[in-house]
Amino acid sequence: MTTALPPTIRPQDRSFLGEEQVAVRARLAEEVRALIDAVVLTDVPDAEIAEITGQVRALTDRLGAARLGAAPMADTPIDGLIASGMSRQLGNPVTGVLNPVAPPIPFEALPDGSVRSVFTLDEPYEGPPGLVHGGISAAIFDQVLGMTAGMSGVPGFTATLELRYRRPTPLRVPLTLKARITRREGRKCWADGEITTPDGRVTVEATAMFVTPRHLLAEEADEAQEQRTS
């Protein structure tokens, strides 16, 4: 029996893009990221803003002329990290190279199974003046700890995520997030991590637990059964 998810959320039902298609769209997203920054910080006259608004609307209409039903996936894993799942999710709001809302956060898998991300956040991610918004830190931890769990062989949804904001996290400086697995038990996986400033001071610590959803396991078992009988 197939425990079907709605088609738009099944990776296998999405459009898969090749390297060149990803590269072309990633350049667009990068420009739009710069546009977001310019929109937040612009001080050009109001009349010019009104004119630019019309031009942006026209660009939105051109891009919207052909529209997918859901964000596409990369046909090869980004950075070779995990062979499936969210490493290929190009529209992800934290790591997605095609999503201008994403910083995007890069990943480096270290030989000991831990993960390191080095990134800089600027004005569009501001919470308190000059500082990173706490919810942005939470989203980054959610994704990075989740991918660390996935890399350890227990891909899952976030069941719990706890953050301890020790010090303010500054904008416009390179931040380092390190994450590691602390425990695995069946479908459950615990990970923790911290964000540090260039002088090595920890600003935020996080602990999370991920659970491989029962319905995903059921779906995998169904697919294996279908392959055996075909």
Catalog residues that contact ligand DCC under the rule CB under 6 A: 85-86, 142-143, 146-147, 150, 155-160, 187-188, 211, 213-214, 216
Considering beta carbons, is residue 42 or 160 the nearer one to ligand DCC?
160
HSE-CB for 211 with a 13 A CA cutoff: 6
Considering beta carbons, is residue 3 or 225 the nearer one to ligand DCC?
3
Considering beta carbons, is residue 113 or 128 the nearer one to ligand DCC?
113
| Token pair for 28 | 């667009």
Q: Which residues contact 55 (CB under 8 A, 6 or more apart)?
A: none
Distances (CA, A) of 33 to 36, 38, 129, 163, 172: 5, 9, 20, 27, 15
Place of tokens 């996080």: 206
**Shortest CB 71 distance to ligand DCC, Å:** 14
**Is 192 in contact with 183 (CB distance < 8 Å)?**
no
Considering beta carbons, is residue 76 or 158 the nearer one to ligand DCC?
158
Considering beta carbons, is residue 40 or 157 the nearer one to ligand DCC?
157
Q: Which residues contact 69 (CB under 8 A, 6 or more apart)?
A: 8
**Is 101 in contact with 15 (CB distance < 8 Å)?**
no
**Shortest CB 24 distance to ligand DCC, Å:** 25
**Shortest CB 185 distance to ligand DCC, Å:** 7
Considering beta carbons, is residue 77 or 168 the nearer one to ligand DCC?
77
**Shortest CB 218 distance to ligand DCC, Å:** 9
Distances (CA, A) of 155 to 59, 77, 133, 188: 38, 15, 27, 9
**Shortest CB 153 distance to ligand DCC, Å:** 11
Nearest-CB residue to ligand DCC?
146
Considering beta carbons, is residue 39 or 216 the nearer one to ligand DCC?
216
**Shortest CB 67 distance to ligand DCC, Å:** 25
**Shortest CB 51 distance to ligand DCC, Å:** 39
Question: If we measure between CA atoms, which residue out of 66, 81, 87, 108 comes closest to residue 22?
Answer: 87
Distance CA 181, CA 16 (A): 30
